[in-house]
Every structure is written in C-alpha cells, then in structure tokens.
C-alpha cells in the first residue's frame, strides 16, 4: 500500500496543492513506524503504510491549521478528522485526506516483531475511512462483524470493589507524564483543566488521588468524541489500559444517545444537543 | 458508644428552583438529615462533571445534583444538558468503582420543600447503605 | 574472588530488611518491572531487561514534601523533611547507577539539596552487571558499560549458581559484614557487545548547530508528551507547589519536563521557549551541551528508555548522529 | 504594604528573628524568594538597600497565583523568605562614571536600589539619568520618589508612557525610542536597563547605535525560577543560569548567549 501513497504525495507536492504530507516512515528499530512530515518530493519514498502505522496523525493538524496539508488517514484517524470538523477545529478546504483501507493495526512495541493486533481492532467495523479525498487499498467485500464491546461487558461483570481495586492500582502506576493527552487528537485545549492553577483541579503531586481525577476527567472530556484510535494507550509508558475507560464511554454513548463520533463531518456531538423527552441511562 | 456511620454528601443546587426549594424546607421547618453540604450554583448545568469527581477525591460519599424540572429551567434548557451529562457520568464512575447510587440527579422546584426533604432523606439512606466510599 | 551463592544472597537480603528499607526490581502493575520496597527476597525479579523506571525515583522521588509549614500563634515554623531508615537498592544496573552519580553533580553541589544528600549518604547501591544487553542501549558511548561498577557500592556479576562480588566502596564493605561470601576461583562472563553512537565531540557539534532548522524539523513529530523526561534516569527537572492540609502546609516537589509547554512560561505570559523546536532542543542541549559545559560529562547514560518509550521515535542515538553530521557540513 | 500602581504593591518584609537580620546581607541587584504559604514561592528583586535595617522591600506586581496571594495578605501577615540569591550590580566598578538608568514597568523596580545606592554615595558617581517607562501614567513605579531623586545633585528624571491619559502632559513614546531621542552619551558612562524582554532587546540595540560598548551596557534578566540555586534547570538561557550566573549581565555577556531570553 506504500507505493500509491508515495505517488499521490509526490503529485500533491509537485503540483503545489499542499506543502506538507504527513504520513509514516520506518522507525529506527527497523520494525515499527513513526510519523513523517514530507515537505520535499525527494523524501516521498520514505513513506510507508502497514500494520505498524499506529499513530493517529490527525493530532498534528492543529499545529498546521492555516497551511495546506495532506494526511495519511486510517479509518479511525479519519473519524478523528470528522470529530475535529464537527467541533470547528479544522478547515476542510486546507486538508487533503489520503484515506487508507485498514484491517487493524498492531500494538506498538519498540524493537519487537511478534506483536499482537490491538484489542480495539478486533471489534472495529470501520475498515474504510468515513472521509477521504483519495483512497488507497481495496474496499473489503466481506460484511464486517457487528461492532461490540465484549471487553467492556466483561469488565462490567466485576464487583464495584474489584473495579475500584483495579483502577486504584492503575492510578498508582500513573506517572502523570500526560502523554495520553498529548497523543490524542481530541485534546486540543489551549489550556487543559489540569494546568489550571487557581483552582488547581489537579495538583502536581504524582499520587493516586491526583491521578484518579486526571484519568477520569481526561477520559470523560472525550466522551462523545473519542474515536477509538488507541493513541493514548499506545503512548502510555506504564501501560495503563486507557481504552477500557474510553470504550466504556463509547459504549454508553451509543446506548444512551445513539451516537458514534466521527462518522460524519456534519454530526452534532451528544453534549451539544438533547431531546426533551428522553431518559438517558434510564431512571434511578 | 457506637455511632452509626454518617455519610458525607455534597449537594449542588440550582439557584432558581432547588436552592429555593431547600430554603422553603428550612423556613417551613421540614426536617431532613444534616449530612448534606449544599453548594449553590446558577444552574444544574453549571455542575461540571469535574466538580463531582473532585468531591469524591476530597472524601464525599455521595453527590446530589438538583435542578429545575424539565421545561422549567431558568435558562430554558440547561437541565436537559445536565441530564445527558449526568447519565453518562454515573455509568462511567460506576465502571471505575464509584457506584452509580452515589450520584443522583433530582428535579426539585421552589415550591417543593417537602419533596426536597424526601429526596435528601432517601439519598442519605441510600448512600449510608453503601458504606463509606473510601474504606 | 568473592562468591555469593543464590541462597546466601537471599539470606543476606532478608537480613538487610530487618532494619533497612530494601528496594529491588519487582514485577508489578501491567507486567512492568519497578524498583519497589520489598518485604521478602522472593519478590525480586532480576530479568535480562532493566526496570521500566530507574531507581532515581528513590533519591529524587516523583513527588515528595520537601518541607512543611506549621503556623502556631501567628508564627510559622518550617519543618524540613527527613528520611526514616537507611536503605539499600538491590539490582541497580550500571547505567542507572551512573545516572545517579550525574544527578549528584548539581544536587550535591553547594548549596546542597539536603534531603537528596541524606538519601544518598544513607543508601547503599548493590548493582548487577549486564550479561545481556537491551537492543536500545548504548551505555559504552556514554561513559559507562555493562560491567561498569564505578557508581555502585557493590557489584554482583552473574556466574554459575550465584554471583561474583566486587566490593567497590567502604559503604559496600560495611553492608557485606553479615553476608556469607566465599573466596573462590571464578571465571567471569565476557561483557556483551553494546551498540555505539558517535558521542565523542558531540558537545562542540551541538554548539555549532544550535540555531539549525533541524530542531524544528525533528520537533514536527514530537508531541511534547514528556515521556522521555519521566523515564530518563538522569533528567531532574521539577516543579514545586504548596499543598494546604488541615494542620500543615506541605511544599511538594514533583517531576516535571522541560518539554512541557508551560515549563518556562512565567506568570504574565512571557515564555522564552514558545515553540516545540526550542523546547526539544533544550532537552538535548541540557544533556549534550550545557551539562557537559558545567560538569564535564554528558548527561545521558545510554539506558535507552527514551528510545524505547518515545511514541514517535525521537531517538537520541539518531539525534547524535545527525548533530555530528550537520556540524561537519 | 503600600500601593505603588494599580497592580504593584511595595512590601516591607521584617524577619521574625531580628538577630537574623545581619545575616541577610544583600547587594543592589540581588533577589530573594517570597512564599505565600499554601500557594507557593516566587523570586522577586529586592528593591531596598541592606543599609535599611527595618525590613527588606519588594515591589510586586499581581500577575499569577503567588503574587495574587501576596497581594491579598493583610499587613503583619507571615510570609516565607529565602535568599538573597544571584549576583549584583558591580557598584564599585561604576564609580566615577555617569549612570543612565532605563527601566520599564515593574522592571524599573530592581533598578531602584541602584538609584538609592548612588544617591547615598553621590560623590562617588558622575551624572545620573533616570528614565522610567510604563504602559500608562498610573503604572509608573515609585512615582512618589521622583521629586526627591530629581532634587538630588546632578540627577535628572525622565518619564515616558506607551499611552497617556487625560492628565498626562509628558512624553508618549516607547522606552527604546526615548533612549534614541535623549541621545544618551556613552562617554565615561554605564547604561543599566531592565524591563519586559522585548523592551530590553530593543533598548540594547538603541544603546549600541549610540556608541555604547558591550561592557558599558548592563541589564538584569528575569526568568521563571523554582530553586534559585542552579538546580532546577528552568531559568537557563542557553547554558547560563540566570539565578546563579545572573541576574545581572553586561551586554558583552548576553551576546555570548546562544539562546534568546
């Protein structure tokens, strides 16, 4: 799939349609992938695409809002672009989306060849980007499996005490580097609530109580917005299963509001609207 | 002497309906448990989910959010937004081990002093039954 | 040569735990290995890989109250923090030991960081030599090596059914007083081959290309996530803020990263490093230029944690290569 | 505590233990950290002279959480003080020279001890020119002292504002432009400047144009700091630590910085 991306990138740069193509290249371990910014046609042959290309590159678009940019986007990355368009964070006219058909990507493990497919990809039914200007790869013929959240359902079966114990251990592990936030396309606030000094919602102490409020509120701020791209979990240096939190919110978003973020550029996010006669989540 | 466990409850009350309702309960001398600490907010929609998580971090055992009945919001539609947010937040907190029964959203109007007392009594009993959040 | 059988090593560790805090690599949350205080030697997990975070966390903890304030009758008293028991850190790798010796340079320079100094004086480092290497490490290019014992008090080298013991310092010797070690002929394994990076002369190269557009280009993909600083064994940036408690106020110091956008932003909004490129350059310049200028040593030990953990593969080995190349051009 | 401008207050800090006062010896240009207990600590230039025995003065503008907390204190409240830190203005080497002081906004504050020192040792120094610049007339720090200064021998006080108001009859111009307009003479002179980074940068340029050599231009820099003792690696500009190597630098030293401040 790399060659058509290179050809398109070359054409876009040569014709001056864009001045930068954001894609992937091989990382220094020779195995995994890393983001690549191509400004010069001489570099287009460095572009690649395969199952190691895990990053959600749409995260970089906020740094290039006013510049013509082409971006390689997997289905979940394209959903993030839609989400950002829903929230008036991007100008579609400045964007050229090279969509790639995706059958799932692997865990990012530096230097390791025998990595598994990411858990979220098992239940993904979005193999074709919901938005693109140019599509790379064959549209799959098979009916995709229905979306589901078996991982979340499994976790919900635990008792409250078990769930609490599980997360408290994760809060202890968290070193509050904020990589989850910085890897996320949805976390574009100029100043995050966690950086507010007065009141200091999240103190600087790297301790479970502060990590709890950080992790819960971070995830909740992405409710109705998280596109299931897994960037946060792939970045986390202490392997906190952040997608459990995010996917729980996705599951409830569908159940309560019938909403899945990023499927359309014209969608109204669930917290920007309401129905007068609804009872989300049921009574009690 | 054995003292029964007394839960700590934080109440976020909208200025226009529920706070007035609680006030009415007071002036009408309708009693209700004193476990609740009331924070007045301009509208139930002012209650950022962050406030609720923060209340739990500071040791609250339960959080009650009260606002105007649907259709009666002073700002037309604030409480509809609150309803959506709180529905998701309750389910989410439950997932992380903070039982959904610890968070409640109620509609209490300015004339419902008695209902306010009932809501607080019910909720206090419900939270007390769960026991302390931090064991 | 002194020899520790596995059994007598275990007995020794259990003995040390009687009156000391003993930290050792333990497999913990999410299957990662961390240095943790142990209550039994069974918990120790010394594998072929280094711990996810270095033992810097003990000397320069992720968060700690460096002092507290108690106000009585209008007078405020300052109460400095202290350490309870003496400590031993078991299973320290040479790169991490060297990292501690690098943090020593600023923290033990006058005026000394008293709490850090106390922890250093009252903690003994027991190292384990690396007989295998991680694919991301490059310690030999950074003034250390898989068998380097310089910054340790005791060095253990794995041999058949036990460890060869090298007593490096008097502190180490005292710690071994109650240990059962035998003197016997031992054949030490060969140190493993470590990949190298062209670190010689990198300080001058950094100076030369300081204003190169290169930094902005690499920073394109940097997401300033701070992981590199947090996993680094010799990064020591910190933030300080007060915590108001019921009966006292604590002044808390926590790890911070120079990659953070707010790191140098002063009250009022002025930020001397507003761009990602300038911040990323700061981190590498501190390691490869400023620190060597002040203390004469590169502030990197080649442990490879940043290489392994960076989500977007900003690889210090590649940076050093590029800097050297650009400086030659 | 005295209000100097709408957002700057002058604080006089007295030590709980007066016997410690002599140990807290400092020179013009040095700074110290003040703690608002429960909020945090921040560095401030000392604006008094060590010869003032009844307290140590700081002029503090309300810009962040610590300064806001300090502003909210009642007179007599307890604060923490740590210092003095940093180097100082080389007052000895300035002897016999004409001194030009160019300060902008709150950046004028750290220059006040230099003025006081010169006035206290008036015969040791040549002519003294004081240029105080601010955004508006109300923001001119230490305005109440201008008259006393201007009345001192061989001393001239000039003021300028970025934006005047109804009562303002004086100059409306940016500090670097006033430096140019006044044609400050480099002859046997030292120019000392402090202010917002952008003002310092342009003032340095203007002074150079007027013929000042790099070692005739002195400034005092400010960066965000946490420790003040060369550990936290936050205030560095290039490899230079503002807290230890500075805050006072000559342009000769600044031009060797590889990073912009």
Q: Is residue A144 part of a domain?
A: no
Q: How far apart are CA D224 and CA D241, in angstroms?
A: 11
User: Taking 90 as the threshold, does the pLDDT of residue D182 lie above it?
Assistant: no
Nearest residue on chain C to A110, judged by CA atoms? Answer: C308
Q: Are residues C226 and C269 in the same domain?
A: yes
CB-count burial class (<10 Å; 0-12, 13-18, 19+) for A1: middle
Cβ atoms of residues A109 and A32 within 8 Å: yes
pLDDT of residue A265: 87
What would you report as the CA-atom Rg of chain D, rounded to the nearest whole angstrom? 18
Average pLDDT along chain C: 92
Per-residue pLDDT of A72-97, as tens digits, reads 999 999 999 999 999 999 999 999 99
Give pLDDT, residue A230. Answer: 94
The predicted structure's pLDDT at residue A144 = 67
Token representation of residue C327: 């400086």
**Parent domain of A188:** 150-272
Place of tokens 């036990």: C162
* B2 against A16, higher pLDDT: A16
pLDDT at C34 over 80: yes
Residue closest to C294 by CA, chosen among C302, C286, C283: C286
Subunits next to C (3 or more Cβ pairs <8 Å) are A, D
SS3 content of chain A, % helix, strand, coil (to 5): 40, 10, 50
What is the domain count for chain C?
2
Instruction: Note the pLDDT of residue A283.
Output: 55
Q: Does residue D164 have a pLDDT over 80?
A: yes
C224, part of any domain: yes
pLDDT higher than threshold 70 for residue D25:
yes
B135 in a domain, yes or no?
no
For residues D230 and D37, the model is more confident at D37
C221 and C309 in a single domain? The answer is yes
Residue ending a domain, choose from A83, A110, A136 = A136
Architecture per CATH, domain D98-220, reads as: 3-Layer(aba) Sandwich (3.40)
pLDDT category of residue A106 using cuts at 50, 70 and 90: very high
Q: Residue A254's pLDDT band (boundaries 50, 70, 90)?
A: very high
Query: Could you tell me the CATH number of the domain that includes residue B117?
Result: 3.40.50.960
Q: Which residues of C touch A110 (CB under 8 A)?
A: 136, 307-309, 313
Same domain? For A107 and A158 the reply is: no
Residues C117 and C263 reside in one and the same domain:
no
Pair D37, C249: CB distance under 8 Å: yes
Please give the pLDDT value at position B135: 60
A195 plus A73 within the same structural domain: no
How do residues C214-254 score in pLDDT, each as one tens digit? 999 999 999 989 999 999 999 999 999 899 888 899 999 99
Total domains, chain A: 2
- What is the rounded distance in angstroms from the CA atom of residue C325 to the CA atom of residue C141? 17
Share of chain B above pLDDT 90, in %: 94
The predicted pLDDT at position B3 comes to 65
Q: A100 and A163, same structural domain?
A: no
Among A94, A110, A136, the domain boundary falls at A136
Q: Could you tell me how many CB contacts below 8 A there are between chain A and chain C?
A: 112
Is residue C73 one of the residues assigned to a domain? no
- pLDDT above 80 (res D260): no
**Beta carbons within 8 Å of C106's beta carbon, 6+ residues apart:** C236, C295, D230, D231, D233
Q: Does position C93 have pLDDT exceeding 80, yes or no?
A: yes
User: pLDDT tens digits for C165-209?
Assistant: 999 999 999 999 988 888 998 889 999 999 999 999 999 999 999
Q: What is the residue whose two structure tokens read 């509120």?
A: A217
Query: Which pLDDT score, from 0 to 100, does residue C286 have?
Result: 93
User: Domain for residue B4, yes or no?
Assistant: no
Does any domain span residue B74? yes
Interchain proximity A256–B84, CB inside 8 Å: yes
Mark whether C152 and C102 lie in a shared domain. yes
pLDDT digits 0-9 by tens, B13-36: 999 999 999 999 999 999 999 999
Fold of D2-85: Elongation Factor Tu (Ef-tu); domain 3 (2.40.30)
Cα separation, A74 vs A55, whole angstroms: 9
pLDDT band at A163 (very low <50, low <70, confident <90, very high): very high
In a domain, A143, yes or no: no
Q: Are residues A67 and A127 in the same domain?
A: yes
**pLDDT of residue A16 exceeding 90:** yes
- Domain match, A215 and A107 both: no
Whether residue B3 lies inside any domain: the answer is no
- Across the range B95-107, mean pLDDT stands at 96
Is residue C140 pLDDT above 60, yes or no?
Answer: yes
The larger pLDDT score, comparing residue A112 to residue D22, is at A112
How far CA C39 is from CA of A170, C13, C83, in Å, comes to 22, 10, 18
**A82 and A202: one domain?**
no
> Same domain for C160 and C221?
no
**Residues within 8 A of D (CB atoms), A 176-205 only:** 197-198
Cβ–Cβ under 8 Å, residues D89 and D28: yes
Instruction: Give the best residue of A168, A220, A276 to mutate against chain B (max B CB count within 10 A).
Output: A220
pLDDT at position A139 is 83
Tell whether C159 and C218 lie within a shared domain.
Answer: no
Task: Check: CB of residue D82 under 8 Å from CB of residue D66.
Answer: no
Whether D49 and D120 have beta carbons less than 8 Å apart is answered as: yes
Taking CA–CA distances from C66, the nearest residue in chain A reads A205
Chain C contacts to D (CB-CB under 8 A): 69, 71, 74-76, 78, 106-107, 109, 111, 113, 207, 210-211, 236-242, 244, 249, 251, 258, 263-268, 270, 272, 278, 285-286, 289-290, 293-294
- pLDDT per position as a tens digit, B47-62: 999 999 999 999 999 9
Residue C141 lies in a domain: yes
pLDDT band at C84 (very low <50, low <70, confident <90, very high): confident
Residue B83 in contact with partner chain A when CB distance is under 8 A: yes
User: Is the backbone peptide bond immediately before A77 cis, with ω within 30 degrees of 0?
Assistant: no
Q: Within this chain, do residues A132 and A69 fall inside the same structural domain, yes or no?
A: yes
Closest chain B residue to the Cα of A154, Cα to Cα: B95
Are A90 and A53 members of one domain?
yes
* Highest mean predicted confidence (pLDDT) among A241-255, D5-19, D97-111, D238-252: A241-255
> In this predicted structure, what is the pLDDT of residue D4?
84
The verdict on A132 and A212 lying in the same domain is no
Average pLDDT, chain D: 87
Q: In this complex, do A28 and C255 lie within 8 Å of one another by their Cβ atoms?
A: no
Asked whether residue C75 is domain-assigned, the answer is no
Q: What is the DSSP string of C34-77?
A: EEEE-SSGGGB---SSPPSS-THHHHS-SEEEEEEEEEETTEEE
Average of pLDDT values for D5-12? 88
The encoded tokens of residue D77 equal 């409240």
Name the residue ranges covered by the structural domains of chain D. Answer: 2-85, 98-220
Domain housing B101: 9-130
Report yes or no on B71 lying in a domain.
yes
Which of the residues D67, D233, D245, D254 would you substitute to probe the C interface, choosing the one with the greatest number of C C-beta atoms within 10 Å? D233
Distances (CA, A) of C284 to A227, C140, C320: 34, 19, 9
A90 secondary structure, DSSP code:
S
Residues in chain A with CB shorter than 8 Å from the CB of C262 are 195
> Do residues C133 and C209 both lie within one domain?
no
Residue B23 domain flag:
yes
Question: Is residue C278 domain-resident?
Answer: yes
Predicted confidence band of residue C47 (pLDDT cuts 50, 70, 90): confident
Same domain, C171 and C231: no
Is pLDDT at D256 greater than 80 in this prediction? Answer: no
Domain count of the fold of chain B: 1
Q: What is the percent of chain C where pLDDT is above 70?
A: 100
Residue C74 within a domain? no
Is A52 among the domain residues?
yes
- Using the predicted structure, report yes or no on whether residue A141 has a pLDDT greater than 80: no
> Is the CB of residue B132 less than 8 Å away from at least one CB of chain A?
no
A197 chain-D contacts, CB cut-off 8 A: 64-65
A179/C231 CB distance under 8 A: no
Q: What is the C-alpha separation between C82 and C103, in angstroms, rounded?
A: 19
Question: What is the ipTM, given to two decimal places?
Answer: 0.88
Question: Tens of pLDDT along D126-154?
Answer: 899 999 989 988 888 888 888 888 888 88
Q: Minimal CA–CA distance to C128: which of C161, C102, C91?
A: C91
Position with higher pLDDT, C263 vs D44: D44
Residues A9 and A110 in one domain: yes
Q: Per the domain annotation, does A277 fall within a domain? A: no
- Which residues of chain D does A201 touch, with a Cβ-Cβ cutoff of 8 Å? none
Nearest Cα to Cα of residue D81 among D133, D164, D12:
D12
């Amino acid at each position: 799939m790399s060659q058509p991306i290179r050809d398109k990138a070359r054409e876009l740069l040569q014709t001056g349609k864009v001045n930068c193509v954001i894609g992937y290249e091989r990382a220094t371990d020779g195995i995994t992938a890393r983001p690549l910014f191509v400004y010069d046609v001489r570099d287009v042959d460095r572009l690649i695409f395969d199952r190691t290309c895990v990053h959600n590159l749409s995260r970089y678009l906020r740094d290039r809002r006013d510049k013509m940019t082409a971006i390689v986007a997997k289905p979940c990355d394209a959903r993030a672009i839609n989400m950002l368009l829903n929230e008036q964070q991007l100008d579609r006219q400045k964007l050229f989306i090279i969509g790639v058909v995706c059958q799932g990507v692997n865990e990012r493990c530096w230097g390791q060849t025998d990595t598994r497919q990411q858990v979220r990809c098992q239940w993904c039914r979005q193999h074709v980007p919901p938005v693109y200007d140019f599509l790379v790869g064959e549209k799959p013929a098979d009916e995709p499996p229905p979306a589901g959240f078996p991982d979340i359902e499994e976790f919900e079966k635990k008792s409250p005490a078990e769930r609490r114990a599980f997360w408290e251990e994760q809060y202890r592990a968290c070193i509050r580097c904020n990589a989850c936030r910085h890897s996320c396309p949805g976390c574009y606030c100029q100043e995050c609530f966690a950086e507010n000094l007065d009141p200091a919602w999240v103190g600087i102490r790297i301790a479970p109580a502060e990590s709890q409020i950080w992790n819960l509120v971070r995830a909740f701020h992405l409710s109705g917005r998280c596109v299931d791209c897994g960037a946060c979990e792939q970045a986390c240096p202490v392997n906190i299963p952040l997608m459990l939190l995010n996917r729980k919110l996705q599951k409830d978003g569908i159940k309560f509001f019938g909403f899945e973020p990023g499927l359309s550029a014209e969608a109204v996010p669930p917290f920007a609207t309401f129905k007068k006669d609804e009872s989300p989540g049921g009574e009690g | 002497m054995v003292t029964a466990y007394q839960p700590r409850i934080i109440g976020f009350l909208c200025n226009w309906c529920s706070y007035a309702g609680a006030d009415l309960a007071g002036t009408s001398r309708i009693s209700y448990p004193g476990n609740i600490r009331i924070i007045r907010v301009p509208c139930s929609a002012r209650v950022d989910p962050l406030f609720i998580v923060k209340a739990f971090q500071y040791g609250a055992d339960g959080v009650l959010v009260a606002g105007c009945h649907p259709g009666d919001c002073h700002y037309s539609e604030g409480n509809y937004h609150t309803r959506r947010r709180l529905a998701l937040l309750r389910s989410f907190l439950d997932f992380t081990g903070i039982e959904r029964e610890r968070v409640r959203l109620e509609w209490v109007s300015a004339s419902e002093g008695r209902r306010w007392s009932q809501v607080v009594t019910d909720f206090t009993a419900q939270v007390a039954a769960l026991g302390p959040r931090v064991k | 040569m002194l020899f520790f059988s596995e059994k007598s090593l275990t007995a020794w560790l259990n003995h040390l735990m009687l009156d000391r805090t003993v930290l050792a690599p333990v497999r913990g949350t999410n299957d990662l290995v961390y240095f943790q205080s142990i209550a039994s030697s069974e918990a120790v997990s010394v594998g072929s890989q280094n711990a996810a975070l270095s033992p810097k966390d003990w000397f320069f903890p992720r968060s700690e109250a460096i002092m507290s304030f108690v106000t009585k009758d209008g007078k405020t008293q300052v109460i400095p923090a202290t350490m309870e028991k003496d400590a031993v850190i078991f299973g320290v790798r040479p790169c991490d030991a060297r990292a501690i010796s690098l943090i020593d340079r600023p923290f033990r320079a006058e005026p000394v960081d008293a709490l850090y100094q106390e922890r250093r004086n009252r903690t003994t480092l027991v190292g384990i030599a690396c007989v295998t290497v991680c694919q991301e490490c490059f310690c030999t290019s950074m003034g250390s090596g898989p068998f380097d014992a310089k910054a340790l008090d005791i060095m253990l080298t794995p041999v058949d059914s036990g460890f060869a013991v090298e007593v490096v310092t008097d502190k180490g010797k005292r710690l071994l007083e109650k240990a059962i070690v035998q003197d016997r002929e031992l054949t030490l394994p060969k140190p493993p081959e470590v990949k190298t990076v062209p670190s010689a002369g990198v300080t001058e190269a950094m100076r030369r290309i300081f204003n190169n557009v290169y930094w902005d280009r690499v920073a394109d993909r940097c997401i300033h996530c701070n992981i590199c600083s947090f996993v680094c064994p010799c990064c020591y940036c910190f933030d300080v803020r007060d915590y108001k408690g019921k009966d006292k106020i604590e002044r808390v110091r926590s790890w911070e990263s120079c990659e953070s956008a707010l790191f140098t932003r002063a009250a009022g909004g002025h930020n001397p490093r507003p761009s990602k490129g300038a911040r990323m350059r700061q981190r590498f310049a501190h390691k490869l230029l400023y620190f060597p200028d002040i203390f004469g040593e590169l502030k990197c030990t080649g442990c490879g944690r940043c290489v392994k953990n960076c989500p977007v593969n900003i690889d210090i080995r590649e940076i050093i290569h590029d800097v050297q190349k650009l400086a030659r051009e | 505590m005295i209000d100097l401008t709408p957002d700057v207050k002058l604080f006089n800090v007295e030590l709980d233990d007066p016997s410690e006062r002599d140990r807290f010896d400092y020179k013009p240009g040095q700074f110290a950290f003040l703690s608002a207990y429960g909020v945090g600590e921040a560095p401030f230039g000392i604006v008094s002279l060590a010869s003032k025995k009844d307290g140590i003065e700081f002029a503090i503008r309300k810009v962040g959480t610590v300064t806001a907390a300090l502003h909210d204190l009642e007179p007599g409240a307890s604060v923490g003080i740590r210092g003095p830190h940093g180097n100082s203005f080389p007052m000895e080497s300035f002897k016999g020279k004409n001194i030009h002081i160019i300060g902008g906004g709150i950046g004028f504050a750290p220059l006040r001890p230099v003025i006081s020192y010169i006035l206290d040792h008036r015969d040791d120094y040549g002519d003294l020119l004081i240029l105080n610049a601010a955004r508006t007339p109300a923001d001119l720090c230490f305005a109440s002292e201008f008259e006393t200064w201007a009345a001192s021998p061989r001393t001239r006080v000039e003021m300028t504002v970025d934006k005047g108001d109804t009562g303002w009859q004086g100059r409306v111009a940016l500090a670097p432009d006033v430096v140019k307009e006044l044609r400050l003479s480099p002859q046997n002179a030292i120019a000392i400047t402090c202010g917002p980074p952008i003002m310092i940068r342009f003032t340095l340029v203007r002074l150079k144009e007027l013929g000042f050599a790099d070692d005739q231009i002195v400034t005092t820099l400010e960066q965000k700091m946490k420790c003040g003792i060369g550990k936290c690696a936050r205030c560095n500009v290039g490899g230079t630590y503002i807290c230890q190597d500075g805050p006072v630098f000559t342009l000769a030293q600044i031009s060797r910085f590889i990073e912009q401040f």
